[in-house]
Chains A and B, each alone.
Chain A
Amino acid sequence: MPILNKKTALLFLPLVLFCMLFCHCKKDVERIYEVNNIDLLPPNTIKNKNKTNEQYVSILYANLFQKALSANQLFEISQCLQSKGDQVLAREVLISNLMNKKNVIIPTDSVMRLDIDKFITETYIRFLVRRPTEAEKTYFRNYVKSNANVTPELIYFSFALSDEYMFY
Chain B
Amino acid sequence: MRRREFIKKTGMATAAAFAVPYLLPSGRLFAKTGGLMAKHVIYVMFAGGVRQQESVLQRYLDDSQNLPYGGNIMNNMLNGAAPNQKIVYGTGAGGLSPIPAILSQSLQSQGTLFPEVRSGSAGHYTGLNELLQGSSALTQGLKQKPVNPTIFEYLRRHSGLPASKVWFVGNGINGSIPLLNYSEHSNYGPTYGANFFAPLVTFSDKGKKYFADAKVYHPQEQLAPMYEMKYFLDNSFTNAGKPIPNLGNTEAEKQDIKLFMKSMFAKTDAGTIAMPPISDNGDAMNIGYACELMQWFKPAFTVVNLGGVDACHSNFTKYLSALHRADHAVGHLWNYIQTQIPEMAGNTIIMASPECGRNLKPNGIKDLNNWYAYDHSDPNALRIFTLMAGSGVQSNLLVGSESNPKGLSTDNVLTIADIFGIKNDVLGAGLVNGNSMSLFDRI
Q: Which residues of A contact B (CB under 8 A)?
A: 41-42, 44-50, 76-77, 79-80, 82-89, 92-94, 96-97, 99-100, 133, 135-136, 139-140, 143, 147, 149-150, 154-155, 157-159, 161-164, 166-167
Contact partner of A80 (CB less than 8 A), chosen from B210, B215, B238, B254, is: B210
- Is B211's CB under 8 angstroms from A42's CB? no
The 9 closest A-B pairs by CB, nearest first: A85-B196, A83-B201, A158-B229, A48-B241, A162-B233, A83-B198, A48-B240, A164-B237, A158-B230
B197 CB–A CB distance under 8 Å: yes
- Is B197's CB under 8 angstroms from A41's CB? no
Complex Cα spacing A150 to B242, Å: 31
Given A86-B257, A89-B249, A97-B214: A79 in contact with B241 (beta carbons within 8 A): no
User: In the assembled complex, which residues on chain A have CB atoms less than 8 Å from the CB atom of B211?
Assistant: 80, 93-94, 97
- Is A44's CB under 8 angstroms from B237's CB? yes
Complex Cα spacing A85 to B297, Å: 15
Q: Please, what's the 1-or-0 string for B201-233, where 1 marks a CB less than 8 Å from any CB in chain A?
A: 110001101111111010001100111111011
Given A80-B201, A139-B232, A162-B234: A49 in contact with B241 (beta carbons within 8 A): yes
Taking the closest CB of chain A, its distance from the CB of B263, in whole angstroms, is 14
User: In the assembled complex, which residues on chain A have CB atoms less than 8 Å from the CB atom of B232?
Assistant: 139, 143
Complex Cα spacing A163 to B232, Å: 10
User: In the assembled complex, which residues on chain A have CB atoms less than 8 Å from the CB atom of B230?
Assistant: 158, 161-162
B195 CB–A CB distance under 8 Å: yes
Interface centre among B215, B217, B246, by most chain A C-beta atoms within 10 angstroms, is B215
Contact partner of A163 (CB less than 8 A), chosen from B168, B228, B234, B247, is: B234
Complex Cα spacing A166 to B254, Å: 19
User: In the assembled complex, which residues on chain B have CB atoms less than 8 Å from the CB atom of A88?
Assistant: 244, 246
- Is A41's CB under 8 angstroms from B238's CB? yes
Residue of B nearest to A159 (CB): B233
Contact partner of A154 (CB less than 8 A), chosen from B207, B229, B237, B254, is: B229
Q: Which residues of B contact A (CB under 8 A)?
A: 163, 168, 170, 173, 178, 181, 193-199, 201-202, 206-207, 209-215, 217, 221-222, 225-230, 232-234, 236-242, 244-247, 249, 254, 257-258, 261
Residue of B nearest to A92 (CB): B254
- Is B258's CB under 8 angstroms from A93's CB? yes
Contact partner of B202 (CB less than 8 A), chosen from A49, A80, A157, is: A80
Given A50-B242, A139-B232, A149-B225: A99 in contact with B207 (beta carbons within 8 A): no
17 sample A-B contacts, Cβ–Cβ < 8 Å, listed by A number: A42-B236, A47-B241, A49-B241, A50-B241, A50-B242, A76-B206, A82-B198, A83-B202, A85-B168, A85-B193, A89-B258, A97-B213, A136-B236, A143-B225, A143-B229, A150-B229, A163-B239
Contact partner of A79 (CB less than 8 A), chosen from B195, B206, B261, is: B206
- Is A166's CB under 8 angstroms from B244's CB? yes
Taking the closest CB of chain A, its distance from the CB of B347, in whole angstroms, is 25
Contact partner of B210 (CB less than 8 A), chosen from A94, A133, A155, A163, is: A94
- Is B197's CB under 8 angstroms from A96's CB? no
Given A42-B238, A80-B211, A163-B233: A85 in contact with B195 (beta carbons within 8 A): yes
Given A149-B221, A163-B239: A100 in contact with B245 (beta carbons within 8 A): no
Complex Cα spacing A110 to B242, Å: 39
Taking the closest CB of chain B, its distance from the CB of A126, in whole angstroms, is 14
Contact partner of A162 (CB less than 8 A), chosen from B173, B237, B249, is: B237
User: In the assembled complex, which residues on chain A have CB atoms less than 8 Å from the CB atom of B261?
Assistant: 93
- Is A76's CB under 8 angstroms from B210's CB? yes
Complex Cα spacing A140 to B196, Å: 35
- Is A158's CB under 8 angstroms from B226's CB? yes
Q: A97-B210, A159-B233 are in contact. List 15 more A-B contacts (CB 8 A).
A: A41-B238, A45-B240, A47-B241, A50-B244, A77-B210, A79-B206, A83-B170, A83-B197, A89-B254, A93-B261, A133-B236, A139-B232, A149-B221, A154-B226, A167-B241
- Is A97's CB under 8 angstroms from B215's CB? yes
Residue of A nearest to B200 (CB): A83
- Is A158's CB under 8 angstroms from B233's CB? yes
- Is B178's CB under 8 angstroms from A82's CB? yes
- Is A84's CB under 8 angstroms from B202's CB? yes
Taking the closest CB of chain B, its distance from the CB of A72, in whole angstroms, is 10
Residue of B nearest to A89 (CB): B254
Complex Cα spacing A30 to B217, Å: 68
Complex Cα spacing A162 to B237, Å: 9
Given A49-B241, A50-B241, A87-B245: A76 in contact with B209 (beta carbons within 8 A): yes
Complex Cα spacing A45 to B240, Å: 6
Complex Cα spacing A134 to B197, Å: 42
